[in-house]
Amino acid sequence: MGKKYEDATKRFDREHLHSAAEAVDLVKSLANKNFDEGVDLSLRLGVDPRKAEEMVRGTVGLPSGSGKDVKVAVFAQGEAATAAREAGADFVGADDLAAEVEGGMMDFDVAIATPDMMPTVGKLGRALGPRGLMPNPKTGTVTTDVAKAVGEFKGGKVEYRTDRFGNVHVPVGKVSFDAPALLANLAAVMEEINRAKPPGSKGRYFRKVSLSSTMGPGVKIDSNRISAAAEE
């Protein structure tokens, strides 16, 4: 890690459990001033992701937006393709788009597909799967209403999913956002992931919660004080 990162870690107690408001203020103050870093929420959940029924996955709309220029690719044809273009999709196509992706074109953050395109998109598993870009009905990325989906993802809807260790990483905005905007996004994500708790999850659900900027250290948050994040 660089000197700036090391200096930042010495400016607060790494083990202290902060309130959401304290964590947001700390992350903003510790961020590198040279560029507008992203702000990310990291969670360790009390789930066993090896069990399909304990995989936590879905989407959440960030009330303050993501602050990111999200590039969207849509696999569709006919009227759906036209609707996707009109909604602002960056890449739209059917077999031609699939061929581009197979050839290494991955210049997008979200992939959306109409149900009839899934046999074609399914063949792109090796390219899209490892990057978490495979369209899925659970996340609203396999849909007949592609225009609505494009608008939602362009407007601040983000995906979340547990990795094989039960961790979830979700972007909640930019360092340049004011504190209330970041807190509103943070509260929305926590509420959604709490709602998605699998029935089989035993013991403590939120094992570890931390907030960090792209280049900054993680600031631990007390999960017992998270529900009031938006009101603080």
pLDDT digits (tens, 9 = 90+) for 76-91: 999 999 999 999 999 9
Amino acid (1-letter code) at residue 34: N
Write down the domain spans for the chain: 12-66+157-225, 72-154
Helix residue ranges per DSSP H, the chain: 3-9, 20-30, 79-86, 95-102, 118-122, 125-128, 146-154, 179-195
Domain 72-154 indexed as CATH 3.40.50.790: yes
pLDDT value of residue 228: 46
Asked whether residue 209 carries a pLDDT value surpassing 90, the answer given is: yes
Beta pairing class for 219-220 and 72-75: unpaired
Asked whether residue 7 carries a pLDDT value surpassing 70, the answer given is: no
Q: Which CATH architecture has domain 12-66+157-225?
A: 2-Layer Sandwich (3.30)
pLDDT value of residue 226: 65
SS3 breakdown of the chain: % helix, strand, coil, rounded to 5? 35, 20, 40
| 157 close to 59: Cβ distance less than 8 angstroms | yes
User: Quick one: average pLDDT of 59-83?
Assistant: 95
